[in-house]
Amino acid sequence: MIGATDALPMISSSALTVATAAIALQRVQSQLRASVVVAALSFLALRGNPEAYDVAVHRYRAHPGQVEVARLMSRLVAGSAAPVRIQDPFGLRVLPQVTAPAIHAARCLDDALAAEINAAVENPLVTPDGVRHHGQFHTATLASQLDAVRGAFLPVLSLSTARLGLLMRPDLTGLRAFLAAGPAGSSGLMISEYVVQDLLTEIRVGMTPTAAGTLSISLGLEEHASFATQGARSLRTMTQLAPTLLAAELVAAVRALRMAPGRLIAGPLREAFEMASEELDPSEDDRPLGADLERAADLLPELGAVLDYSSMGLSSSA
């Protein structure tokens, strides 16, 4: 039972900040899992070249998580149709390099949160050895890790928008522009590009590192703060906007593969495709896309669970 005198311990322990950050991190992990599966579906639709995911390549620049992402992509797209390009656009080719920093940052934030949850931060610290006044309440590590996750997750989302743009191009898909299917002049999924760029801009606006803030209050005695609370809230907002952005790529990839079903392969990607295709409206007529994006966004957690990501520190139980 929490009483009136328990307010200060709740505030001093940063309980609300830690809880907000933990929930946001769980969403980031879920969205990272889904982003890899969605990207792999786009790879099939675009008839990509799997050579870029060869583990032998990534061992020569083995940043944390990069080999794991490359290996996962190689497994996912194994058996795909012969590539139509020697070198793919960056949206496909640099996926391991862009996704790996986000995975690494998520791991580090997970470690920081575990330390925070198990910490004793009350000031003063009272132990059998005595009473000590300190600054353990300062959440600098948590703040910096929250900033790092936001900074690393943004490029993952930006690369998703790049792949969406690739899926609109007939020279890359071999299909009609904007994946349209109606009479000449049909816009297909064109408007989804506007949606994702608006979302990406909204996310960018909130990208200022919160740990860079400063203050001086209480007659100058409290002249520094981590602003981890604002960092946690900013990451929460980011994870609320990201699903629609990833959903736009998913809707486009599914439509492209419906138009060219011969590009599908057996295995987890077919399972992911069928899961999404069953839920998404099969109509290819020009129409409002809001309902499609909502359904696709709701599918992302389930879609991301089609594989075991434990080797990447992104297991679905995280």
- Domains in the chain, start-ordered, CATH in brackets? 9-312 (1.20.200.10)
Calculate the CA dihedral of residues 228, 231, 237, 241 and round it to 10 degrees.
-140
Q: What is the pLDDT of residue 211?
A: 76
> Cα–Cα–Cα angle for 23, 25, 27, nearest 5°?
75
Q: What does the alpha-carbon distance between residue 98 and residue 153 come to, in Å, rounded to a whole number? A: 9
Q: What is the pLDDT of residue 10?
A: 57
Q: What is the pLDDT of residue 315?
A: 57
Contact 163, 249 (CB under 8 A): yes
The CA–CA distances, whole Å, from 152 to 3, 159, 224, 255 equal: 40, 12, 26, 29
Helix (H, G, I), strand (E, B) or coil at 132: strand
pLDDT tens series, the chain, 318 aa: 667 666 665 555 688 899 999 999 999 999 999 999 999 999 999 999 999 999 999 999 989 999 999 999 999 999 999 999 999 999 999 999 999 999 999 999 999 999 999 988 777 888 899 998 888 888 899 999 999 999 999 999 999 999 999 999 999 999 999 999 989 889 999 999 999 999 999 999 989 888 777 777 777 767 777 888 999 999 999 999 999 999 999 999 999 999 999 999 999 999 999 999 999 999 999 999 999 999 999 999 999 888 776 666 665 543
Residue for token pair 């080999």? 67
The secondary structure of 271-288 as a DSSP string is: HHHHHHHHHS----SS--
